A and B are shown apart, each in its own frame.
Chain A
Amino acid sequence: MRLSGYGRVDRTQSVPFRFDGRMLTGHPGDTLASALIANGVRLVGRSFKYHRPRGILTAGSEEPNALVEIGEGAGRVPNVRATVQEVHEGLVAHSQNRWPSLERDLLAVNDLAAPFLGAGFYYKTFMWPAAFWERVYEPAIRRAAGLGSFTREADPHRHEKAFASCDLLVIGAGAAGLMAALAAGEAGADVILAEEGAEPGGRLLAEAEEVGGRPAQDWAAATLARLGAMPNVRVMPRTAVTGAHDGGTYGALERVSEHLAHPAPECPRDCFWRIDARVAVLAAGALERPVAFPDNDRPGVMMASAVRAYLHRWGVVPGARIALFAAGDDARRTARDLAAAGVQIAAVIDPRADAPAPEGIDAPYFAGGQVVGTSGRQGLTAIRVRAGGRVRRIAADVLAMSGGWSPTVHLACHMGGRPVWDEALGAFLPPREGARGAVPGLIPAGAAAGVFDTAGCLASGLAAAGEALSRLGLRAPRIEVPEAEDDPGRSVPLFRVSGKGRAWLDFQNDVTVKDVELSAREGFVSVEHMKRYTTQGMAPDQGKTSNVVALAVLAEATGQTIPETGTTTFRPPYVPVPLGTIAAGAQGKGFAPERFTTSHDASAARGAPMIEAGLWYRPSYFPARGETTWREACAREVAMVREAVGVADVSTLGKIEFRGPDTGAFLDLVYTSRFSTLKPGRARYGIMLREDGHVMDDGTTARLSDDIWVMTTTTAAAGQVMAHLEMVQQCHAPGMATRFTSTTDGWAQFAVAGPRAPDLLAQVLDGGHDAGSFPFMACAAVTVAGVAGRLFRISFSGEHAYEIAVPARHGAALWRLLCAYAEGLGGGPYGMEALNVLRIEKGFPTHAELHGRTTAFDLGLQNMLSPRKDFIGKAAATRPGLLDPGRERLVGLRPVDKAGRLLAGAHLFKRGAKAIRVNDQGYLTSACHSPTLGHDIALGFVSAGPERMGERLSMVDHLRGVTTEVEICSPVFLDPDGARARS
């Protein structure tokens, strides 16, 4: 019901929304919860396990009951707290965990079975047969128990991540937070004021109080206006700080457009902030604790502070006859304010026998009384009050309760610090700064520090700002604390009321006092064990309203004190963060960067399918007219290279340029063979090892002139090699006069391969080309169609081949030119498939073979391990175990029957032996169909392989179900002497 003269919503506008299909209206400024209350909706959800009817308990993000699904279709978001979601035109909300409807939920039968569904029931009940657990019991339990349901479609929302930096982060914009931000802002600090709610103000918006001689709401608005005028203060509403992390970094979830009816299409729904703050003030307030009395979970049983908040902030009251059950003077304001608003007070029940009757409230008063039961199936109709030795039934549709307040210490404990029990306050306080696990630079203030009166909160915020400013080296401004309510009232903590019936602690996970007592009886006496056995505190709300009450019950059950019992561990995030937000920016193209070569567009225009090589996109093959499979294109491209000339973009290979007089000596250290003897104008093939003696990478290094050295790495290992070289330089050779940098992206480099390669070069090189004077492994600076370029005579195909390089800006033009000339010579471009076939035919290794577990010896390259110099990995590579002839060593494999298929990844076994692990003889690393030879060929590693030439083995591919008889042969299938490359 909406009350006139109360609340901050804009009543001049109506906002239509739907809840479970019903069209309702709210006003701008309403949360879904306040709008439902205004519409008289009490039942909003069903509980997790017992499907008990549940209503709204709180007015904040700690809400355990009122979880709804927002939106429809792929964009549906489950487990949204109705107390956080703002209403907007067209909002669609559905209740959760009920079937077929909220009012008639057939799964409520669980509630009848409650005696069998206590803590740990599934560990005890579903023991047999074992196989049934996964297939029958667990799915059934999961269907019956749960919260919102997940859509299986891709998340259509846009999410965002962002970074922010500030001098001071103020967490929470209540009385303390506003005051802290004001003082720090005036002092000139860069301030971020993060407020979880839609509107800064905190309890100032929720109470009938005065600050500085005017209504607290007005003071908050005026202060906010002052902050808004300061360029150094950034107020971030709808932003919940979720975690305190290392080095003054705080996580925060900003709800950017969830409250908008028509956000711009590209507007993110939310944003996950990483805020780097030099100092922070924790002004997160406190959470009011429920009381565990029998049947305390009915819709209509609410927190006393929430009832006041709904009255003052939203102008709604949840019922017509409201009773109050609280052990603190502050909660009496609920009765006072409601009575002033003309709402009937059914009763005031105070468990303190000596508490005086509330003044000015015309309602029965029960000092030393307790609520021992409730009735009303889908909403509260009456409470039962025990006082003076008798129990009375009192009609009431709302019971406002308060068991005391728990400071919101969560963030202060995110680094493992333990909160400190304050006996006088009956509450846990944040760990003192400097205590083990305390968050450095986080200064608690206001209610979060156990200060519960408004004047005290304002003063505490100012003091915290003063402390923060002194750490920042700034002078605190002279600011007077405005006059405000300075009496927090007396109170005693009230945790539970004993009596017949279930008393709920954790509303969200359906955990009762009995469950915790059972846990203690069964030996789970540690608070961490109790949590896991009962699931208390493990729901999305992480037990915000239940943790302290539950551990008080556990303390009683185990005969310990509350501080002896201790709390469970507080971990980030403070509020649930959607997975989509955590993954923000990683959807679609954001998943990984794309690296494009200069020839990319031309290759795509030819219809070449792209394959990913690391982050690079490389053409797989270039389909020609009439070709229907990649194998046809690949075979044509291989033949083209073997018989005419092919061109391929090899720019993705790593290029590292060296300068300096000690470059040769440095290369001697990183390569296994000697490079210091390399003459200008020549290139050399080399391998480099990791420190553990296994091969890291291979490639050529060319010495273009006396002082210009260019190393090439494989595409896959370019980054790894660069990091390795940096390590070697910084750790092993800091004194060497050599320096290197990656120029991979700076040069477009193309392979020109095949018997007609020299003819092609003659057409593009200024001054022509004479292959006779440019032998195998030569390199030189050349002029390519007027551009200064580089030429290398190296071959990855076994053919007479070159690599020609120009600065990347000229790459696209050179590629088009090379393709045109190649086609004129009966050739054309070739892709990765053909490139792979060409190198397998020649037995050249790639990272399929250099897979990190192979040594130079395994690859048959032990002759490249120079005995006359030291190099990285030498000592490790010459360990006996790495030179054992029985190791799996590189060989070629061919099918005995020419039609036999060879498959990479398949394993080898002796003929007739069972194809099981213990009989394993080796495995295939690369396999292809060789169009040149007309059958499949493969490279692989076989135990003592080179000593078993001609032996037949059985190749078994367990995954694809293929078995082929193979013969071990040389890994070089074609032109073993290398005559073609040298021709």
Chain B
Amino acid sequence: MPTLPPETLLAGRTARHGTAELSELPLVPLWWIAPFPGREAALSRALAAAHGVPFPAPGETVRSGDTEIRWAGRAQALLIGPAAADPGLAEHAAVTDVSDVYARLVLTGPDTACVLARLVPLDLRPARFPAGRTARTLLGHMTAQVTATPEGVELLVMRSFARTAFHEIETAMRGVAARPG
């Protein structure tokens, strides 16, 4: 009987240059959730009841145990963690499995903000972008969702772009590490 073992385009690659480290994170269940018109409040209640997290405000993430909800654009959020989204949510919102749509990368270490400053046009100073903040933005020529975590910055890029994203970030890491003084 044939089987289809899972693979990612980066096969869990990591890179370290200077004080920054880049790794591919394992896939996790991701549910794209977008409320229907007028159902925002009901959806938020249903989410809180079923998954312990309300619908997030723009740029915010909310965490409860292993479940996180992450704002993901105008009237959109990503529910991260649960193997299944509560079926009751479908009454209020579109709920779509997007677990395979994204590659997840994480950049850690003291140079994190410095490296991303080469690619991301946002103000990522820790005071302005503390752990828990999230934004949809550009990563070089690509789009990405960046989220500050206690460890560093997590990046979601469309899966097909994963190798370019890794290459671009690694190039920035090398440039930062090679700077004098």
B93 to nearest A CB, angstroms? 7
173-222 of chain A: CB within 8 A of chain B: 190
A594 to B141, CA, bound (A): 10
| A21 at interface, CB cutoff 8 A | no
808-857 of chain A: CB within 8 A of chain B: 808-814, 817
- 27 A-B residue pairings within 8 Å (CB atoms): A158-B175, A163-B117, A163-B120, A163-B121, A260-B180, A264-B178, A264-B179, A267-B179, A268-B175, A268-B178, A585-B140, A585-B171, A592-B141, A593-B164, A593-B168, A594-B163, A596-B162, A598-B7, A600-B9, A734-B37, A741-B96, A745-B158, A808-B100, A810-B6, A812-B7, A813-B4, A813-B7
Known contacts A263-B178, A786-B3, A809-B7; is-contact A160 B118 (Cβ 8 Å) = yes
254-294 of chain A: CB within 8 A of chain B: 256-257, 260, 263-268, 274, 276
Beyond contacts A737-B37, A814-B4: 17 other A-B pairs, Cβ-Cβ < 8 A, are A161-B118, A256-B179, A256-B180, A267-B175, A268-B178, A589-B167, A590-B168, A593-B168, A737-B36, A738-B36, A739-B94, A743-B98, A745-B160, A746-B99, A785-B3, A809-B27, A813-B6
Contact B178 A659 (CB under 8 A): no
Contact A764 B96 (CB under 8 A): no
Contact B140 A593 (CB under 8 A): yes
6 closest Cβ pairs, A-B complex: A659-B94, A739-B94, A264-B178, A267-B178, A746-B101, A165-B123
Partner of A657, one of B9, B96, B99: B96
6-48 of chain B: CB within 8 A of chain A: 6-9, 27, 32, 34-37
Known contacts A735-B37, A739-B93; is-contact A817 B2 (Cβ 8 Å) = yes
| A742 at interface, CB cutoff 8 A | yes
**Residues of A close to B168: CB separation below 8 A:** 585, 590, 593
Contact A745 B117 (CB under 8 A): no
Most A Cβ at <10 Å: residue of B1, B118, B122, B168: B118
A809 to B118, CA, bound (A): 30
**Residues of A close to B34: CB separation below 8 A:** 739, 741
**Residues of B close to A190: CB separation below 8 A:** 125, 127
**Residues of B close to A597: CB separation below 8 A:** 160
Partner of A660, one of B27, B94, B101: B94
Contact B180 A257 (CB under 8 A): yes
A738 to B140, CA, bound (A): 32
Known contacts A260-B180, A813-B5; is-contact A162 B118 (Cβ 8 Å) = yes
| B174 at interface, CB cutoff 8 A | yes
| Chain A facing B: main interface SS | mixed
Known contacts A260-B180, A741-B32, A743-B101; is-contact A764 B90 (Cβ 8 Å) = no
| A747 at interface, CB cutoff 8 A | yes
Contact B9 A596 (CB under 8 A): yes
Proximity string of chain B (55-76) to chain A, C-beta cutoff 8 Å, 1 when within and 0 when not: 0000000000000000000001
**Residues of A close to B178: CB separation below 8 A:** 263-268
| A164 at interface, CB cutoff 8 A | yes
A193 to B174, CA, bound (A): 25
Partner of B76, one of A589, A600, A741: A741
602-623 of chain A: CB within 8 A of chain B: 616
**Residues of A close to B95: CB separation below 8 A:** 659
Known contacts A590-B168, A809-B27; is-contact A659 B2 (Cβ 8 Å) = no
Q: What residue in chain B is nearest A789 (Cβ atoms)?
A: B4
Q: What residue in chain B is nearest A784 (Cβ atoms)?
A: B4
**Residues of A close to B2: CB separation below 8 A:** 764, 785, 817
Contact B36 A162 (CB under 8 A): no
A766 to nearest B CB, angstroms? 9
Contact B177 A266 (CB under 8 A): yes
B4 to nearest A CB, angstroms? 4
Q: What residue in chain A is nearest B72 (Cβ atoms)?
A: A741
Kindly state the interface size class of chain B when it binds its partner: 35 or more
Q: What residue in chain B is nearest A811 (Cβ atoms)?
A: B7
| A631 at interface, CB cutoff 8 A | no
**Residues of A close to B27: CB separation below 8 A:** 809
**Residues of A close to B122: CB separation below 8 A:** 163
Proximity string of chain A (484-518) to chain B, C-beta cutoff 8 Å, 1 when within and 0 when not: 00000000000000000000000000000000000
A632 to nearest B CB, angstroms? 30
Q: What residue in chain B is nearest A267 (Cβ atoms)?
A: B178
Contact A786 B141 (CB under 8 A): no
B140 to nearest A CB, angstroms? 7
**Residues of B close to A707: CB separation below 8 A:** 90
A257 to B6, CA, bound (A): 44
| A540 at interface, CB cutoff 8 A | no
A442 to B141, CA, bound (A): 31
Which residues from chain B sit less than 8 Å from chain A, CB to CB?
Answer: 1-9, 27, 32, 34-37, 76, 90, 93-102, 117-118, 120-123, 125, 127-128, 140-142, 158-165, 167-168, 171-172, 174-175, 177-180
Most A Cβ at <10 Å: residue of B2, B9, B102, B167: B2
A849 to B159, CA, bound (A): 30
A274 to nearest B CB, angstroms? 7
| A595 at interface, CB cutoff 8 A | yes
Chain A interface residue count, CB cutoff 8 Å, equals 65
**Residues of A close to B162: CB separation below 8 A:** 596
A806 to B97, CA, bound (A): 12
A466 to nearest B CB, angstroms? 23
A531 to B38, CA, bound (A): 62
A595 to nearest B CB, angstroms? 4
**Residues of B close to A785: CB separation below 8 A:** 1-4
A158 to B179, CA, bound (A): 12
**Residues of A close to B1: CB separation below 8 A:** 785-786
A791 to nearest B CB, angstroms? 15
Partner of A810, one of B4, B93, B101, B125: B4
Contact A745 B175 (CB under 8 A): no
A456 to nearest B CB, angstroms? 34
A488 to nearest B CB, angstroms? 37
| A807 at interface, CB cutoff 8 A | yes
**Residues of B close to A744: CB separation below 8 A:** 101, 158, 160
Q: What residue in chain B is nearest A740 (Cβ atoms)?
A: B94
**Residues of B close to A916: CB separation below 8 A:** none
**Residues of B close to A764: CB separation below 8 A:** 2
**Residues of A close to B35: CB separation below 8 A:** 739
| A871 at interface, CB cutoff 8 A | no
Contact A267 B101 (CB under 8 A): no
| A896 at interface, CB cutoff 8 A | no
Proximity string of chain A (562-600) to chain B, C-beta cutoff 8 Å, 1 when within and 0 when not: 000000000000000000000001000110111111101
A743 to B96, CA, bound (A): 9
Contact B4 A162 (CB under 8 A): no
| A762 at interface, CB cutoff 8 A | no
Q: What residue in chain B is nearest A585 (Cβ atoms)?
A: B140
**Residues of A close to B97: CB separation below 8 A:** 746
319-378 of chain A: CB within 8 A of chain B: none
**Residues of B close to A538: CB separation below 8 A:** none
Most A Cβ at <10 Å: residue of B1, B120, B141, B165: B141
Partner of B102, one of A268, A274, A745, A806: A745
**Residues of B close to A739: CB separation below 8 A:** 34-36, 93-94
A658 to B94, CA, bound (A): 8
Most B Cβ at <10 Å: residue of A260, A657, A741: A741
Contact B7 A746 (CB under 8 A): no
**Residues of B close to A809: CB separation below 8 A:** 6-8, 27, 100
B71 to nearest A CB, angstroms? 14
Q: What residue in chain B is nearest A651 (Cβ atoms)?
A: B160
A811 to B159, CA, bound (A): 12
Proximity string of chain A (858-875) to chain B, C-beta cutoff 8 Å, 1 when within and 0 when not: 000000000000000000
Most B Cβ at <10 Å: residue of A257, A266, A600, A707: A266
A597 to B177, CA, bound (A): 32
Contact B174 A266 (CB under 8 A): yes
A204 to nearest B CB, angstroms? 23
Proximity string of chain A (110-136) to chain B, C-beta cutoff 8 Å, 1 when within and 0 when not: 000000000000000000000000000
Known contacts A163-B121, A595-B160, A809-B27; is-contact A742 B101 (Cβ 8 Å) = yes
Contact A807 B175 (CB under 8 A): no
